[in-house]
Amino acid sequence: MDDRKWWLRGVAAGIIGATVLAFWFLLVDAAYGAPFRTPALLARSLLTVEGLETSPGLIALYTLVHYAAFILVGVGATWILLKLQTAPGILLGLVLGFLLFDIVFFASMTITGVDVVEELGWVEVLAGNLIAGVSVMGFLHLTGVARAVSWWEALADHQIVREGLVAGLVAGVAVAMWFFVIDAAQGRLFFTPGALGSALFLGATDIASIEVNVWTVLGYSLFHFAAFFAVGLIASAFAWQAEDTPPLILAAVLLFVAFEAFFLGLLAVVAEFLLGPLAWWSIALGNLLAVVAMGTYLWIKHPKLRQALAQDPFDRTM
């Protein structure tokens, strides 16, 4: 691919992702019998006004913002794939989808003060962003930005993927053990995974509706490790790239902040009532423990990075 034209594919990928997400919500809105409910709601939230009648101009305004945002996402995703060279397209698409979901929640709360995820339904928003993320990454792989690989090929030939999965496993186990100790100390074994599983899969809305059983605990555990595998892959990619560009180690700080924000944001969206019982400090410390465990593993696996940072880590250009 012509490196001077890489951003054009990013623009095209962004347009595809935006179109897929718009079509998804068109179907969702039609199912509710309220066409264009989603763009109208988002436009009103963006303009921070109430009672504004839905109009073609209002919907067109939001549509422009929607496509502009996805074009930026597409260009960013293209840049990342160029650095990775090869990666499982579907996996990175799902990672991108989760990140988009997180961005929607925090951007709406920060900019407009309106929780659009709650207004639109977190399942619909998450599903739409996952589909859009897979569409963006799928297009980039199909157009040759990076070579798509199968799971088995990636595990066999690509060290980034192997290290990422192990890093995710290490961090996931660290957090699981942390909350096991917290729950045991409070005399309520498996309360944390059971409570989160009840909120995610059973729609629990208060402490009384929490069910701690094998299904809620196992179901959340699967979700828990899948999320950590995704974070581990991103961290591994940064670690490999930072061997040649040490300033990228700063991305680890951003990754930690994003990781904290994602989990707290997910709780706020799915089960706000649990923030009290679980205590924000235990969540923050658990995630810090995960980052330390993941970082230690990657630090041990990358002696070249240790050597580069020990010399003059910021005497290079990105």
- Residue 264 is encoded by which pair of tokens? 């707290």
Backbone angles phi, psi at 88, to 5 degrees: -65, 115
Nearest CA to 68 out of 138, 14, 109 is that of 14
Residue 30 shares a structural domain with residue 121: yes
Residue 116 shares a structural domain with residue 188: no
Residue 11 shares a structural domain with residue 129: yes
76/100 Cα distance (integer angstroms): 12
Against a cut of 0.75, is the pTM above it?
Answer: no
At which of 127, 154, 181 does a domain end? 154
pLDDT above 90 covers what percent of the chain?
Answer: 8
228/290 Cα distance (integer angstroms): 9
**Alpha-carbon distance values, 10 to 68, 87, 89, 301 (Å):** 12, 17, 15, 32
At which of 96, 130, 154 does a domain end? 154
Residue 143 shares a structural domain with residue 5: yes
pLDDT above 70 covers what percent of the chain?
Answer: 66
Residue 84 shares a structural domain with residue 146: yes
Residue 49 shares a structural domain with residue 126: yes
Statement: residue 144 has pLDDT above 80: no
65: containing domain: 1-154
Residue 162 shares a structural domain with residue 134: no
Contacts of 167 (CB under 8 A, 6+ apart): 232, 235, 236, 294, 297, 298
Residue 81 shares a structural domain with residue 132: yes
39-53 CB burial, b ≥16 within 10 A, e <16: bbbbbbbbeeeeeee
- Tens of pLDDT, residues 4-42: 677 888 999 999 999 999 999 999 888 888 888 888 888
Residue 145 shares a structural domain with residue 173: no
Residue 256 shares a structural domain with residue 317: yes
Rounded to 10°, the helix 191-201/214-244 angle is: 90
234/34 Cα distance (integer angstroms): 39
Nearest CA to 97 out of 149, 138, 39, 40 is that of 138
What secondary structure letter does DSSP report for 187? T
Domains in the chain, number: 2
At which of 128, 154, 180 does a domain end? 154
Under a CB-based contact definition with an 8 Å cutoff, are residues 204 and 211 in contact?
yes
Under a CB-based contact definition with an 8 Å cutoff, are residues 44 and 52 in contact?
yes
Looking at every residue in the chain, the average pLDDT score rounds to 75
Query: So what's the pLDDT on residue 21?
Result: 93
